[in-house]
């Protein structure tokens, strides 16, 4: 049965999954890249950027799994780009250049609509203005018998967790303290929401933790 998943979502020991002050210069926020050092070393990351090499160990296995059997993505407005408020024009088409890494329909949550954007490699960005449930309905329809991956950012994942709509959550817990930024778990009682840890897999750069929602 198709699932709603979060994969390769990096979080610090103190619960932060993005640094403060996201901007064009700091798309992950200040110190945000430290959260993804486990991913930057992998072969999967190198292939995404047209480069060779990279690790082929456990971290790479987790990164690879995140792209398997995904038929659609859901992204928050901040994950799509730094533009706030009404779109000034249609020039911004994401952080990733002409060929984003999704290769399937991606649904962007926003309060400000704009026409869909077809990109190279099979990605089409659709902009959803009527909330997380509408975005999930559209993503499920697009995904068919494949899974829907919630890509982030933090606020988007929190909304879907609060609504108990995420079936599987994979976190890459980094052994660092951020101190500030966007906290994934603040105000969320994961146990009361019905989530439990079902797997944990340590590497040198991260502890991979998988949670599932009780049925």
Give percent above pLDDT 70 in the chain.
100
88 in any annotated domain: no
Structural domain range at position 191: 4-14+30-82+99-213
Lowest-confidence region among 24-28, 108-112, 137-141, 184-188: 24-28
**Alpha-carbon span 215 to 207, nearest angstrom:** 25
Supply the pLDDT for residue 17: 97
Average pLDDT, the chain: 95
62 in any annotated domain: yes
| pLDDT beyond 80 at 16 | yes
Instruction: Grade residue 173 by pLDDT with cuts at 50, 70 and 90.
Output: very high
Asked if 88 contacts 155 with a C-beta cutoff of 8 angstroms, the reply is no
The neighbour count for residue 179, using CB atoms within 10 Å, is 11
Q: Which two tokens stand for residue 140?
A: 């499920």
What are 123-145's pLDDT values in tens digits? Answer: 999 999 999 999 999 999 999 99
Q: Which of 182, 184, 178 is nearest to 22 (CA)?
A: 182
Q: Which of 204, 194, 212, 169 is nearest to 10 (CA)?
A: 169
177 in any annotated domain: yes
| Better-predicted residue by pLDDT, 33 or 215 | 33
> At 157, which CATH number?
3.40.430.10
**Alpha-carbon span 63 to 193, nearest angstrom:** 26
Mean pLDDT of 38-62: 91
Give whole-number Cα distances, 11 to 5, 32, 69, 170, 184, in Å.
16, 10, 24, 10, 8
Supply the pLDDT for residue 48: 87
For residue 71, the 8-state DSSP code is E
Q: Which two tokens stand for residue 16?
A: 């932060």
Could you give the number of structural domains in the chain?
1
Q: Which of 56, 29, 67, 25 is nearest to 170 (CA)?
A: 67
Residue 80: φ, ψ to 5°: -75, -30
**Alpha-carbon span 48 to 44, nearest angstrom:** 6
| Residue with token string 């690879």 | 64
Mean pLDDT of 90-108: 95
Asked if 174 contacts 208 with a C-beta cutoff of 8 angstroms, the reply is no
Instruction: Grade residue 53 by pLDDT with cuts at 50, 70 and 90.
Output: confident
């Amino acid at each position: 049965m198709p699932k709603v998943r979060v994969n390769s979502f990096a979080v610090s020991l103190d619960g932060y999954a993005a640094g403060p002050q996201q901007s064009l210069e700091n798309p992950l926020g200040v110190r945000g890249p430290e959260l993804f050092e486990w991913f930057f070393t992998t072969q999967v990351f190198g292939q995404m950027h047209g480069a060779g090499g990279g690790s082929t160990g456990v971290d790479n296995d987790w990164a690879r799994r995140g792209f398997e059997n995904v038929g659609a993505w859901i992204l928050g407005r901040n994950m799509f780009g730094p533009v706030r408020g009404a779109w000034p024009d249609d020039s911004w088409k994401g952080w990733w250049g002409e060929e984003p890494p999704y290769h399937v329909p991606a649904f962007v949550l926003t309060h400000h609509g704009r026409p869909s954007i077809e990109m190279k490699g099979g990605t089409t960005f659709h902009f959803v203005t009527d909330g997380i449930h509408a975005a999930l309905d559209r993503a499920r329809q697009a995904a068919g018998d494949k899974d829907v991956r919630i890509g982030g950012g933090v606020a988007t994942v929190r909304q879907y967790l609060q609504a108990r709509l995420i079936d599987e959550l994979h976190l890459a817990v980094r052994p660092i303290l951020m101190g500030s930024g966007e906290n994934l778990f603040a105000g969320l009682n994961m146990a009361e929401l019905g989530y439990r840890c079902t797997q944990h897999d340590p590497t040198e750069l991260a502890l991979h933790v998988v949670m599932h929602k009780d049925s």
